[in-house]
Amino acid sequence: MNVDTTDSAPQLIVTSKSTQPHRWRLHVLSSPDRTWRGRILDLPAQGTSIGRVAPEGTSSQIADSTLSRQHLELEPLPDNSGVRLRDLGSHNGTLRGGVRVTTAVIGDGAVLRFGDSVAVLECDAGQSLAFSTPTADVPGRSVVARRLRAALDSAARDRTPVLLVGPTGAGKEFAAQEIHRRAGREGPLVRIHGASIASTEAAATVFGTLQTPGLLQTAAGGAVLLDGLDDLDAEWQPVLLRALEERRVPTHAPSGSHVHDVLWIATASDALEEKVQDGRVRRDLAARFLSHRIRVAPLAERAADLFELADALLVTPTGDPWTSFLLPDAVEAMLLRAWPDNLRELLAVLRHLRRQYVGAALGADALPEQPSRPKDALELTLAQQSSRNSPDGEALHKLLKRYHGNVEKVAAHFGRHRKQIYRWLERAGIGDRALTEYRRGEGA
């Protein structure tokens, strides 16, 4: 990624280690108060208040004229299953997921807007703290970003093949570049598209012949990125398997040619296991990637990192960070967007916004419409049920599992307010305990 090197990049607040198994953090992404842009506020167990004035005690003062003196209060629940939000009678109100609320229990990924400040709530179990510093290819200070950098670092220290799994456009190629950099290999990172090896001629270009080395030979001393392991034709899967077994680039070069060890990195879609089950991908080939299978999360699960990713993808016309380039309603709208096409969609939106710029900060009305896309079986079921205003409990459970208990994302999926989603959950008998289990990854 091309990184915006402005000096207003977010800074991580360093706090003493919490004795609680989980802590809640508020990523303040946008604010009229420059000292708060990009700051991460750790929420103490006894709670904290936010406003223009910070009285004695646990409180945070933000120089935002649209905030009330004492605007809102955030208090982690005793069991760490969520955070209780209470608006303190503010003039301009507090918005959760774009809806004004007075009291609510909110969870991981909740998007808050108070005054002209916009923030994302995150539950942090204190994992991978050694990888808190963003890098050019893996920006972000969220728990998701830290875990990804930690996993990539572990893979870079090993010679065994690495598999990066995730949806299209999630940033798997950037993750591969991070592995290559951390591995410190002298050779290049050579990228091969699995789907492109569809004929003998194409395979010869990649694997080489007796007379001519192939593209993979240029990876000597470096790494090979096979983009789309699950798209590789069955005819050529044994060739790749042999290369993985011998830990080298396959070659048909004349005797005496040197073959150098390489690091194998492959990418695959979330449908890899399904393709293994039905025989489209050899099970023994997939098994070669058991040591390091790293999931690259979709953009919808990285709301706290959204604008650091934006700054890395494309610089604004003014050179300022994107959160300074956009009005609060636009920042909030981007955080609530579903992002089905991930980083590719983000880059397209940023380019669209650049074209809209005429010298003033842009509002939500400048954002392009959400693109349409083919729906999978679950989404078609949900769409049909949504049209009848009555999704059943099974469909809600599946969607909660998909979005890790994030009700904001369920609401965005249906195009409804969170209040309607909670009414459906209540009707289906899905309570706070079930939501907590989904947020912790324990849901059925």
pLDDT score for 2: 45
Topology at the third CATH level for domain 23-124: Tumour Suppressor Smad4 (2.60.200)
At 370, the amino acid letter reads Q
Q: Identify the helix (H) or strand (E) that includes residue 28.
A: strand 23-30
Name the token pair of 319: 């050179």
pLDDT score for 250: 56
At 356, the amino acid letter reads Q
Contact 42, 53 (CB under 8 A): no
Chain position carrying tokens 């990192």: 305
pLDDT score for 9: 33
pLDDT score for 290: 86
Q: Residue 270, by phi and psi: left (phi above 0), alpha (psi -120 to 50) or beta?
A: alpha
CA 101 to chain centre: 27
What is the Cα–Cα distance from 98 to 95, expressed in whole angstroms? 5
Digit-by-digit pLDDT tens for the chain (444 residues) are 643 333 333 333 333 333 445 789 999 999 999 999 999 999 999 999 999 987 766 678 999 999 999 999 999 998 888 899 999 999 999 999 998 999 999 989 999 999 999 999 999 988 889 999 999 999 999 999 999 999 999 999 988 899 999 999 999 999 999 999 999 988 899 888 888 887 777 777 777 666 667 777 777 788 889 899 998 888 888 878 877 777 655 555 443 344 467 888 999 988 888 889 889 999 999 998 888 999 999 999 999 999 999 999 999 998 999 999 999 999 999 999 989 999 999 999 999 999 999 999 999 999 998 766 555 555 555 454 444 455 788 888 888 887 778 887 787 677 666 777 888 888 888 888 888 788 766 666
Strand ranges of the sheet holding 48-51, from the earlier edge strand across to the other edge: 59-61, 48-51, 72-76, 83-87, 103-106
What is the Cα–Cα distance from 193 to 191, expressed in whole angstroms? 7
pLDDT score for 253: 44
Q: Identify the helix (H) or strand (E) that includes residue 273.
A: helix 272-277
What is the Cα–Cα distance from 434 to 428, expressed in whole angstroms? 11
Domain positions in the chain: 23-124, 143-295, 299-366, 377-439
Taking residue 314's Cβ as centre, other Cβ atoms within 10 Å add up to 17
**Domains 23-124 and 143-295 in one fold:** no
Q: Count the residues in the chain.
A: 444
Domain 143-295 maps to which CATH number in 3.40.50.10140, 3.40.50.300, 3.30.70.80, 1.20.120.80?
3.40.50.300
